[in-house]
Amino acid sequence: MRLPAARSRGALLVAGAATVLLCSLMYSIPEHVHLAMPVQLPLTAVDRAIPFWPLSGLVYFGVFVFMAASFLTLRGARAWRFLHASLVAQAIGMLCFLLWPTTYPRELYPLPASTGALGAALVHFVRISDAPVNCLPSLHVCTVTLCVLALRGSRWSGPAAILALPLAASTLTFKQHYLADAITGAALGAIAWWLVRATERDAQSRAINAGP
């Protein structure tokens, strides 16, 4: 099956908006529907060693700016591949959250006494708007990985790779994810990108073999 790909920039932007809405829906469903009891993963030595830094929420929320900027930078087939891979990753993530929901022990990380007003506001916002589930895999890290792969080979490749590190690390310092979530999130992004690339190559191969 050939993946759909319109040519106009307008169609791409509309598809981007539709992808955001669909991904948001797929993320929100497992927040309210569980096919099993959410489980709490054991904190590793790395998880325990990483400090809780409320101000890193600025970097954590920066992933949405990074995603939008990456998408607007892309052109043609690579932009469509980014959208397709994002949908594939979100669908796989939703299945993981539904079938094996994981939860994060936020209660172990109250606000440090030194937290300022901005840090407290960031923590308060995320903790009332986003349930401590949908942990493994981390879709934040998955999105960062997809952006880096989509920009690979462009002039933005280096800056994207540099920005990816603090964006991924913020999921740990903001105490939203386990280390295992970040690792599996990166793997999910790479797998989704590979699956879409493989599908595209298969479609191209079939078209060549079919001839005129």
The DSSP secondary structure of the chain, one letter per residue, reads -PPP---SHHHHHHHHHHHHHHHHHHHHHHHH--SS--EEPPPPHHHHHS---GGGHHHHHHHHHHHHHHHHH--HHHHHHHHHHHHHHHHHHHHHHHHS-EE--GGG-PPPTT--HHHHHHHHHHHHHS-S---SS-HHHHHHHHHHHHHTTSTTHHHHHHHHHHHHHHHHHTTS--HHHHHHHHHHHHHHHHHHHHHHHHHHHHHHHH--
Between CA 53 and CA 62, with CA 56 as vertex, the angle to 5 degrees is 165
Q: Give the pLDDT of residue 1.
A: 41
- Residue identified by tokens 């999105």 is 143
Give every residue of the chain whose pLDDT is below 70, as ranges.
1-7, 202-212
Query: Does the predicted model carry a pTM greater than 0.85?
Result: yes
Amino acid at 20: V
CA dihedral sign of residues 117, 122, 127, 132: negative
In degrees and rounded to multiples of 5, residue 39 shows phi and psi of -115, 150
